[in-house]
Every structure is written in C-alpha cells, then in structure tokens.
Structure 1
C-alpha cells in the first residue's frame, strides 16, 4: 500500500513524473524479485504473460497519485503485474495493485504496424464474480465496447503407463472476447463478421462494407475496423 502521506496528501496530475512519480512507484514494489512458480521436474512451454515483452506502461491510480512510467508485464497465469524499476533493471518486482484502476501499455511501431496504446482496466462487469478484480484489455470503446479477457490453461505432461515421454507442461492461451452493448448487456463473442453483426446489430450493415473487416485477424485489425464504424463519442 502507498504510505498515508502519499495517499492523502495533495493529488497532482496523473501525468506527473520525475522524482515524486518515481518515489510513489517505488512504494508499489514488493521489494524483492518475484520468482515464477514451476514444478520440481517438468518444464513449461508457453508464456504466462498477456504480452511477453517489457512494455512501457502508464499506471492510473484510484487516488490520482502520480507515477512514473514503468516497464510492465501482465502475468495472466499467476494473476499479477510485474514491473522493473530504474534502479533494479535486472529484477522483476511484483506490483502492489490494490490501488490500481487501470494501466496502459505503450506498444511500439513495427515495420508493418503503427505504435498504439493498449488500455487494461478492471473487469468490473465480468459474469463470474471472481473475475471482477482481474484486468481486461479494452480493444475498442465507442457505442459498443470490445473487451478481451485473458486466461491461461495449464496442460500437465502425461505421466505413468500412458506417458509419451514428454517432460513439458504447456500453458495454452484461452482468451474470451466480450461485446458490451449500449444498454450495458455483456455478451461473449467471436471475432468474425457474422458474430459481430449478430451481437452489434446497429453495426451490421457497416461491417459488410468497411475496409478490412473480411480480412481482419489480429486484435489490432479488429480494433481498427470497429473504430472506423463505431467511433468514440
């Protein structure tokens, strides 16, 4: 938890960085390297993270305390956020996220895609109560909202008489996409034109003609499609 003097003092702008922002960020660190759990014999194939890269992130706190930008990873499997501090670049530190409202990953441009911001917020409208403190990525926000809830399934390596000799457990990606309608209804959806038309009937006609809808595959491509036909108010 942040010290009381920080939490209840003046509340400067969230964009403030520098020494004050860094000091507040230090207060959110657990103070010791976070070690990912693993089995005593089996190794694990796959990544526990929403994105395996250390991406710069802006942290938005419930109490508007300013924080410096920080390299961040969202550990989906262990349900935690890991960060790196300037003075401890070799350590992965667990973030105390109890006061965290949302975080925004800054994804850099590549040779084929532009830079973009990836906001994550609490999944407060989750259909399962236990998921409401977890984070969900906001892929699109307009009249309709498209959310991505990350999940990881651990498949254990076979053992005993039916073992194929593999010693590797495997983490499998099992995300669920949700569309939130203007009336607040939340429905699971697959990212296809047909499914989106059924879930968002007001966008059905536009989805037939908007460029990129028939070929969209990635989250970023679907975000661009929806942004074109359902801009943020």
Structure 2
C-alpha cells in the first residue's frame, strides 16, 4: 500500500488568502488552493493483518472526480476522491503525485459531489454527499450521507462499515485468516416537517412514511419497477419534485 499524506487545511486558508491579495482569477485560485492541500507529512493507513483483508472500506472503490464544498466557500479544483467509510476519512489523489493517495483533513468540508461516468451500470450522474447533521446518533453526525433524492422529502443513504479482525491463532480460534469488512447500509427518509426515520426501500414502507405520496408512488412503481436505490431515487423524483427556487 502506498504512503499517504496527512493534509492540513490551515495551509489551504493561508494559500487562499495570499492569492486573494494578488488578485488571481477564480480558476487559478481554485488550482492553487488544491496545490496547497498536497503539502503534508507522510502517514501509513491501516492494512489487513496476516493474509490480508476481504471487503472494501470505501463507499465507492473507484477514484471518481469530485467537487468539494468548504465551510469558508474557498474554491477548489476537482480532484479524484474516495470516501473511506471504515476510517471516516476522505482520500484524494492529486494528478501531480502519480499513484500516491493523500489523506485529507476534512474538518472544513461540508459536502462533496462524486461525478460518476457513464458505464455498464448506468448513465453518468452526480452523487452528492453531505454531513449527516440530523443523525439520531450524535456520534454519526460527522459522517457523510449520500443524498439520493431531495424534494419535499429527502432520501439519504448512510454507509456503515466495521472490521472483524483475523482470528486463526490459538486452540480456540475460528481459523479466520483474513480481516473482513462488514457492510451495512441504512436508508432514511426525511419528511417536509424535518422528521427523520429509517426506511426500507419498497412501495409499502415508502407509502407509510410519505402518505401524501401513496397514490403517486403506486403508479410510478408499477411503471418503473425499481430495483436499485438509484431506481427508487428516480421514482421519488417523479412523484416528489424539488421545490422551485
């Protein structure tokens, strides 16, 4: 596994202030801000013990182009990004560092958008992740959730991962020679009144959680036959459009 680098957003603030004083155009400032993020001290990320690791710690294992939004609204150039769910961190890959991954200090990151290209899995799309500020568990409020749909109602996808360590030594071991990452996904529907509830993706659970949409959901599901969460998000976009801005 490559060395990773711990990034200090303080460098970003300093660099951005300097560029603002010299009047750099927005595009150049965005690139300069990103360059400031690549300075840092080397650090190793955990790796699987003994025979390795099964499973992925990431929300998406691909390096996908991403746009980040910071709390101070400083512009950043798009950069390949991964969300490490297991370690609650963001990894980025600057184009100038080859195959190295950089560990981002994300304390000022409000949200990010992964730009997924056209593939056999579906059309190109933008995937918004934001802080889970309304999480029922306070410890999860700094996690990121994927916003699958945002209209009068909001459909959120919370990725949860945990690791089960290898256990193969000793007379009473389970002979498990790999670290195993377990995946759990919890979907939430947020009502127009701000009430958040966990939900299974299905017609009846959605009708119960959003009774005002019950009839429209029944019609849309009959014609669209949704299977994936992206399909269900498309159904909700049909029956629960985003409010006019």
Normalising to structure 1: TM-score of the pair? Answer: 0.89
Distance 2:185 2:91 in 1: 20
Residue from 218, 224, 230 that aligns with 1:220:
230
Which residue of 41, 54, 72 corresponds with 1:63?
72
Quote the residue 2:181 is aligned against. 171
Alignment partners' CA distance in 1, 2:201 and 2:39: 38
Matches within 5 A, 1:123-134: 123-134=132-143
Q: 1:54 aligns with which of 40, 53, 63?
A: 63
- The Cα shift of 1:216 comes to 1.7
Counterpart-to-counterpart distance in 2, 1:76 and 1:49 = 5
Query: Of the candidates 198, 208, 227, which is equivalent to residue 198 of structure 1?
Result: 208
Map of 1:144-163 to 2, 5 A cutoff? 144-159=153-168, 160-163=170-173
- Normalized per residue, the structure richer in helix is 2
- CA shift, 1:157, in A, is 3.4
1:21 pairs with 3, 24, 30, which one?
Answer: 30
1:98 aligned onto 2:107: yes
Give the SS at the match of 1:36: coil
Give yes or no for contact 1:121–1:136 (8 Å, CA) kept in 2.
yes
> Structure 2: where are the runs of 5+ without partners?
1-9
Shift of 1:151: 0.6
Aligned residues: 229
Give the secondary structure class of the aligned counterpart of 1:205. Answer: helix
Counterpart residue number, 1:136: 145
Task: Say which SS state the counterpart of residue 100 (structure 2) adopts.
Answer: strand
Contact conserved, 2:224 with 2:235, CA < 8 A, in 1?
no
Whether the 8 Å CA contact 1:178–1:187 is kept in 2: the answer is: yes
For residues 203-226 of structure 1, what are the alpha-carbon distances to aligned partners after superposition, in whole Å with 9 as ceiling and x for unaligned? 111111105677322121111111
Give deviations 1:39-95, integer Å, cap 9, x for gaps.
542521000000000000011111111110000000000000000112113110011
Q: 1:213 to 1:189 in 2, by over 3 A?
A: farther
- Deviating runs (4+, > 6 A) in structure 1? none
Partner of 1:44 in structure 2?
53
